[in-house]
Amino acid sequence: MDSLNRLPLLRTACAACVIALAGCSSMKTPATAEVASSRTAVEAAASTGAPELAPAEMAAARDKMLRANQALAAKDYRTAQDLAQQAQADAKLAQSKASSAKATAAANQLQEDIRVLREELDRANSTMTR
């Protein structure tokens, strides 16, 4: 009867060990995937002109991506994953700032074009009324 009371405890202990081991062994894959995703995000941001339009954010993204790669090489998977996620966030911010700067520049150019067209219309109207 005493061995029957120990059976659920033994099962619970075995399940806890399996879960703990699975958690430790699966950390490499997510960290590697996160680092690869951060590299893709940084490259995407760089291709949109972010290095020129959001240099601080791009520098932060590249620095964190470099540190994530170093942590991955040192098998510090938790740090690698955290830094990779931060690098992705910085790269997305840089990309957003670059897109915003481009949109602002395009809007300013349109405003200037509208101003020039209005001047031309005013001149044309003034010559027609003479």
Query: pLDDT tens-digit profile of 65-79?
Result: 999 999 999 999 999
Letter for the amino acid at 123? R
pTM for the structure as a whole? 0.69
The Cα 57–Cα 69 span in angstroms is 18
What is the rounded average pLDDT of the residues 62-91?
Answer: 97
Look up residue 76 and give its DSSP letter. Answer: -
Angle at 117 between CA 113 and CA 123, to 5 degrees: 150
Residue 79 lies in a domain: yes
Give domain status of residue 112, yes or no: no
**The total number of structural domains that make up the chain:** 1
Report whether 64 contacts 83 (CB < 8 A).
yes
Q: How far apart are CA 102 and CA 45, in angstroms?
A: 13
Q: Hey, what are 54's tokens?
A: 């959001």
Domain that holds residue 48: 20-100
Residue carrying the six token digits 């760089």: 46
Evaluate whether residue 126 is within a structural domain.
Answer: no
